[in-house]
Amino acid sequence: MSAAYALKKKGIEAIVLETDSVAGGRARGDKVGGFSIEVGAEFMTGAFEQVGQLAEELNVEIIPFLDDTGIIDRNSKVYGRKSRREVFLANSLKTLYQFVKLLRYCRKNRDSLTFGDPTKLEQIDDPDTSLHDVVVREGGEAVLKNIIEPTVCGICLISANRIGVAMGLNVLWSFFFGSHGFKLGSFMRAFTGGFGAFMDALYEAIKDNVRLNTAAEKIVIADGKVTGVQTNQGFIEADVVICATTASIARKITPDLPQDWQERLSAVGYAPGVDVIWGSKGKLLRDKLYGYASAPGNDSPLVSYGDQCVKSPGSGPPESVCLHIKLAPLRTGGEKLMEMSDEEIEQVAIEQIERFDLPKVENPSFCHVIRHKEAMCHGPSGMFRAVAPLRLSDHPEARGLFFAGDYLHIPSSNGAVTSGMRAAEMVEEALARA
Ligand SMILES: Cc1cc2nc3c(=O)[nH]c(=O)nc-3n(C[C@H](O)[C@H](O)[C@H](O)COP(=O)(O)OP(=O)(O)OC[C@H]3O[C@@H](n4cnc5c(N)ncnc54)[C@H](O)[C@@H]3O)c2cc1C
């Protein structure tokens, strides 16, 4: 959608094909029981410059997210019920010392950790080094278990040994320090009304160009050039095509793409996620507390527990709660989640809430379950180097076919928006050459 928006501003009309009945993909919102729930993306950091810029153009309000978050550690202890101080006290001096050592290492490499620029990340994207390796080497086991796992692994929904060093350190740096370094505390952001408000505004700006319920089945390449898209509604001729799906779907619908680029797309990896959301009147947590992040290793699939109405005011009616539970199928206890029914998943979520003695939503007005087979692109080791050519141009044997998607930048809503804008530039150049 960001590509179509950028093209429209340049006076180039594009057709957007969307297989779903609603647009917005993994960043869309949904209206349920008087609430605007977030189907996927929830947070930004101060480093999300392209999303920030677009939100300003679309007149969508971004607010700082200053509320605190508790932690459930590997031993199932819950910190932060009463105050933020408890969370700091939960970390031993050893952990804090290792954290400082790790941050010093990030600081030394900060030129490569520029959030908006994946070309810099390629410099540290060692195909043989994972986030786990570098955290243990530069910090230690304690900081891995107590800080990196609940935060970075929580965000990526996968363990540190499957996150590449470039992705992991970038998420860590932008999460704690925005893009400017050592400005702890004032960089987390959210949308008033949730991420759906942003995606709705973007959709509104290009909706005449969008064809919903229209699946791209095959992007057709003939004589080294793209000729159009075979869809479930027939063939659409095109001079240029941007394939803006996940990398795995991109591989599926571009069978004519030369093998070397097919292989580059296979370097991208995704972690699945399952979310359970309840809405109700009232208040769940102490003032200023958003929720809890839960570390892997405590035999629970729970990743986080948070009230969207605290983070993104306006997501529900006044004085209401929108409890959002994230579960990771790749964590212990979560292995079967993707195959379970909604009722069974809700039951797992309730069991986790009871296990950690967290407040439950009484008399919810709805319970909504969401499964994402490919929730988060976790930037496996070597991914940034592998996909770099796709971000820069079309293939010499597939002229006119461009790619967009979060995996081409730093995987996030900001990466997705940036990749769309970059693809629009490449399209403009290609059309000018034709
Ligand atoms: C649970 C969850 C939490 C997240 N939290 C955050 C967060 O807090 N902050 C953040 O920045 N990011 C977060 N993300 C990641 C963020 O949502 C994604 O990085 C971003 O939305 C990816 O955008 P995209 O356009 O690359 O891909 P997508 O959003 O996946 O969009 C691809 C689109 O292509 C459509 N499509 C697929 N196949 C076809 C086809 N054959 N024909 C036509 N259309 C097709 C899909 O329906 C979809 O609309 C989260 C994601 C999830 C799932």
Share of the chain above pLDDT 90, in %: 84
Whose alpha carbon is nearest atom 28 of ligand 1?
25
Query: Rounded to an integer, what distance in angstroms lies between the CA atom of residue 238 and that of residue 220?
Result: 10
Amino acid occupying residue 275: D
Average pLDDT taken over every residue of the chain = 94
pLDDT tens per residue, range 121-150: 999 999 999 999 999 999 999 999 989 998
pLDDT band at 183 (very low <50, low <70, confident <90, very high): very low
pLDDT at 150: 87
Question: Residue 303 corresponds to which tokens in the numbers above?
Answer: 């990743």
390-427 burial: b if 16+ Cβ within 10 Å, else e = bbeebbeebbbbbbbbbbbbbbbbbbbbbbbbbbbebb
Lowest-pLDDT range, 109-118, 129-138, 317-326? 109-118
User: Mean of the pLDDT values across residues 320-348?
Assistant: 97
pLDDT at 67: 73
pLDDT tens per residue, range 367-396: 999 999 999 999 999 999 999 999 999 999
Pocket probe for ligand 1: among 16, 26, 189, the residue whose CB has the most ligand atoms within 8 Å is: 26
User: In this model, does residue 161 exceed pLDDT 80?
Assistant: yes
User: In this model, does residue 417 exceed pLDDT 90?
Assistant: yes
pLDDT at 359: 96
User: In this model, does residue 181 exceed pLDDT 70?
Assistant: no
pLDDT at 178: 60
Output 297 or 202, whichever has higher pLDDT.
Answer: 202
Please state which CATH class domain 2-26+196-264+380-433 belongs to. Answer: alpha beta
User: Mean of the pLDDT values across residues 75-93?
Assistant: 88
Q: Between the CA atoms of 206, 208, 213 and 215, what dihedral angle is there, to the nearest 10 degrees?
A: -70
pLDDT at 179: 54
Q: Which of 178, 183, 188, 200 is nearest to 44 (CA)?
A: 188
Query: Rounded to an integer, what distance in angstroms lies between the CA atom of residue 42 and that of residue 63?
Result: 12
User: Mean of the pLDDT values across residues 151-163?
Assistant: 94
DSSP E strands, 308-353: 320-327
Residue 407 near residue 385, CB atoms below 8 Å: no
pTM for the full predicted model: 0.95
Output 297 or 274, whichever has higher pLDDT.
Answer: 274
Q: In this structure, what are the phi and psi dihedrals at residue 203, rounded to the nearest 5 degrees?
A: -60, -45
Query: Rounded to an integer, what distance in angstroms lies between the CA atom of residue 400 and that of residue 398?
Result: 6
| Whether residue 376 has its Cβ less than 6 Å from ligand 1 | yes
pLDDT at 186: 45
Per-domain residue ranges of the chain: 2-26+196-264+380-433, 68-185
Share of the chain above pLDDT 70, in %: 97
| Whether residue 275 has its Cβ less than 6 Å from ligand 1 | yes
pLDDT tens per residue, range 39-55: 999 999 888 889 999 99
Whose alpha carbon is nearest atom 34 of ligand 1?
245
Whose alpha carbon is nearest atom 6 of ligand 1?
41
